[in-house]
Chain A
Amino acid sequence: MATDKLQIALYWGAACGGCDVAVLDTDEFILDVAAAADIRLWPIAVDGKYADVEAMEDGELDLTIYNGAVRNSENEHIAKLLRAKSKLLVAFGSCAHIGGIPGLANLTSRDEILTTAYLENPSLERGSKTLPLPESGVNGSTLTIPSFYRRVYKLDDIVPVDYYVPGCPPAFDQVKAVLQAVVAGELPAPGSVVGASERALCDDCPRVKSEKRIKHFYRPWQIMADPDACLLEQGILCAGPVTRGGCGARCPSSSIPCRGCYGPLDGVVDMGAKLLSAVVSVIDSTDPEEIERIIDGLPDFTGFAYRFSAPSSLLQRSVRQ
């Protein structure tokens, strides 16, 4: 295709659509992008087809922005296809970056998921035994659907990734900065996390940190939180100490604890393990039984600690099958 315009694609794997909305949230700026670029594939907004991508030369696309995790064979196929066709591949948003919310499925098993969703869910028709199969025969022909993997992968488990833009979804001004950099051709070092800070969320958080120790953990709705004091020091779980800043600390500024969507700080190998250390450090007890009682106040700590990062953790997934 003879044109000076940038050739770009946007794709969603296992995603909620929020990342695509985050791109659209750049308002009229998206029109500048559209003026500078041909959007060749963007399933949520533009009428490109997989076949159009398959027909491209390798490297014909300048940039692919991939949001969503890799959950099934279709996600993997398109990730590999777009990787081959693109000079640059960006993992956009928590799911592509570190696994994201879909990655929480790695704490359970494929069988449990299929059983709950298709056999035991109370809203199913009574006695329903219909399970999705990769291949099924209908009127003499064979129909196929993508196969559902045993676990969720982050994008760079599947293909090499050039840049990472963290966030669930990435914050508006960061998205804009990234798009501007692409349009202007000003690219950072390959492999870097862009649109984020190198310091912890706590650094950006306006709340006052002291040395308070606690005897009780609270869910956010169980307590009237002090609006100015550190949430963790009030016994409210917050992922700030291990999370990369750059989002503007909007959650803790609105009395919502950090959930860790910007992913681990440089040097944090395993978000959950590091967060565990930070969280127990506020416990004020040296009695094993009392400690057990206090951590009883943390239902599903694992789900909280790995809310976005289970596929990128050291263990990657539960060993139960």
Chain B
Amino acid sequence: MTFEPKIVGFLCNWCSYSGADLAGTSRIHYAPNVRVIRVMCSARIDPTFVIKALADGADGVLVCGCHPGDCHYSEGNYKTMRRMPLLKRMLADFGIEEERVRLEWVSASEGMRFADIVDDMTERLRALGPSPVKMALAGDAVER
């Protein structure tokens, strides 16, 4: 059986979730690997959420928000823009590969773009293999 990555997707209500909805209503076929969680704004996505998803066994985390300048709350997505690069560096220090966390801007009209992003991320994670986090923590229990 081939490995099927589990991706947790945090999508902002105003643009990206609508974009994903458009992908659905347009009947675009894309990888079923993403589990979508709707949040009111990408700025609501505390880095803790991303880390928790990885610690609980997600193979990847996709964060989507409105394009810069388009935020429903004026500047929520800029907060996300500042957090994600530092979060990626932090995760790298824990040995977590860069491809596992991805930030993309998806507008309400970009159903096709959302589908392409999910397909591409799924493909990359399939090549990368399962997340090592859960395995590592289970290994610690065996050691002692």
Check B51–A315 contact: CB distance below 8 A: yes
- Count of residues in B whose CB is under 8 Å from the partner chain: 33
Residues of B within 8 A of A270 (CB): 47-48, 51-52
With a cutoff of 8 Å between Cβ atoms, the chain A residues found around residue B135 in the complex are 319
Interface residues of A in 141-192 (CB under 8 A from B): 149-151
Interface contact B51-A314, CB-CB below 8 Å: yes
A316 within 8 A of B: yes
- What is the number of residues of chain A that contact chain B, defined by CB distance less than 8 Å? 37
The reply to whether A319 and B86 form a contact with Cβ atoms under 8 Å apart is no
Q: What residue in chain A is nearest B78 (Cβ atoms)? A: A286
CA distance A153 to B93 in the complex (A): 18
Minimum CB distance partner of A321 in chain B: B136
Which residues, 264 to 300 on A, are CB-close (under 8 Å) to B? 269-270, 272-274, 276-277, 279-281, 283, 285-286, 288, 291-292, 295, 298, 300
Decide yes or no whether A115 CB sits under 8 A from chain B: no
Give chain B's interface secondary structure class.
helix
Q: Quick one: which of A288, A302, A317, A319 contacts B90, CB cutoff 8 A?
A: A302
Top 3 nearest A-B pairs (CB, nearest first) are: A302-B93, A280-B82, A320-B95
Name A residues whose Cβ lies closer than 8 Å to a Cβ of B.
76, 107, 149-151, 269-270, 272-274, 276-277, 279-281, 283, 285-286, 288, 291-292, 295, 298, 300-303, 305, 313-321
**Residues of chain B at the chain A interface (Cβ within 8 Å):** 46-48, 50-52, 54-55, 68, 75, 78-79, 81-83, 85-87, 89-90, 93-96, 132-133, 135-137, 139-140, 143-144
